[in-house]
Amino acid sequence: MTLKSLLAASGLVLAPGVYDGLSALIAAGAGAKALYLSGASIAYSRFGNPDLGLVDMTEVAEIIAAITDRVDTPLIADADNGYGNALNVQRTMRTFERAGASAIQLEDQTLPKRCGHLANKSLVSTAEMVGKVKAACDARGAMSTLIIARTDAIAVEGLMRALDRAHAYADAGADVIFVEAPASIGDMHAIVGALGSRIPLLANMVEGGKTPLLSAAELADIGYKLAIFPGSAARAIAWQMRDLYALLVASGSTAAFRDRMLTFAELNDLIGTKDILKGAERYA
C-alpha cells in the first residue's frame, strides 16, 4: 500500500525511525507499514553530530536511494526546511521523489535549523513557508507523493499561532500537518480539535523530549493519524555500542557481550545473503 492509502484507511499509521539500509530492513521485517527517515538520526549515526542542520540534501538523498533499493515499505523523508528557499525546496522535492521517498517533510525554521525539541529555535514567516509548501506541491511528479508541513511555532510564538500557521500550510496544499513539540496532552487534544477534521495529523514521539511519550493506541485515541518514533533506534544502538566498545577496550574480548549480538550466520540470514547469492547464479 502507498502511504496515501494507508492514511486514508482506518487506524493510525506507525512509522519507526530509520537511518540506513540495515535499520530500514529490520524495521520492515518487524512489520512496520511505513518508515521515517530521521534527519537527526542521520546526523547522529553518519556524522556523530547533533541535529543542527549539518546534513545536506544530497547526503539524505543517497540514504533514501539506499533504503528504497532494499525495502518497498513507504518511506517518509525528513527534508528539514527544504535546504533553502522555495527553489531549493523544489529541487529537494524532485530529488527525494526520484530517490523513492513516499513523502517529504518540510519545516518552518530558519537556517540553520535545530532539533524540534531543542530550545532557541527561530522561524521564517508564515508567508515564506506557505510559498515553500506551494513550491513542493508544484514540483512533485505524482500526487501519491505526500507533503508533510511541520511548524515549530509552539516554542517560539505559542500554541494559537502554531495552529494559525498549520491552517495556512493546509490551505497551501500540505497533505499532512505536523505541529511539533506540544508540551502537554491538553495541547495535543487542542491541536487535534483545531485541525483533525480537515487533515491528517502527525505526532512525534521523542524519548526525553518536550512532548508526553504516548503509545500508538493512545495517540490514535486522541485523533492523530500518523505517529513517528524518529530517534528510538539511534538511541538504542548508541547505548549498545557504548557498552560493547567499553567492554572490548577494557577486556580485549567481546565474549561477555555475545549473548547480545547476532552471530555471523544470523546476520547473514537477516540481510538475505543466501537469496542474493542465489539470484546472482542466474548471471554466472
Q: What is the mean pLDDT of the chain?
A: 95
- Residue 210 shares a structural domain with residue 246: no
- Residue 20 shares a structural domain with residue 89: yes
What are the beta bridge partners of residue 93?
none
Per-residue pLDDT tens over the stretch 180-190: 999 999 999 99
Given 231, 256, 273, the domain boundary residue is 231
- Residue 62 shares a structural domain with residue 81: yes
Q: What percent of the chain has pLDDT over 70?
A: 99
* Percent helix, strand and coil across the chain, each to the nearest 5: 50, 15, 35
Quickly list DSSP for 197-256: TTS-EEEE--TTSSS----HHHHHHHT-SEEEETTHHHHHHHHHHHHHHHHHHHHS--GG
Give the whole-angstrom CA distance, residue 96 versus residue 181: 25
Name the more confident of 214 and 1. Answer: 214
The phi and psi torsions of 84 (rounded to 5 degrees) equal 145, -145
For 125, the domain range is 3-231
> What pLDDT is attached to residue 238?
97
> What pLDDT is attached to residue 120?
72
Give the residue among 13, 5, 37 at the shortest CA–CA distance from 220: 13
Given 188, 209, 231, the domain boundary residue is 231
- Residue 127 shares a structural domain with residue 268: no
- Residue 243 shares a structural domain with residue 218: no
- Total count of domains within the chain: 2
- Residue 278 shares a structural domain with residue 188: no
- Residue 80 shares a structural domain with residue 166: yes
Residue 275 near residue 26, CB atoms below 8 Å: no
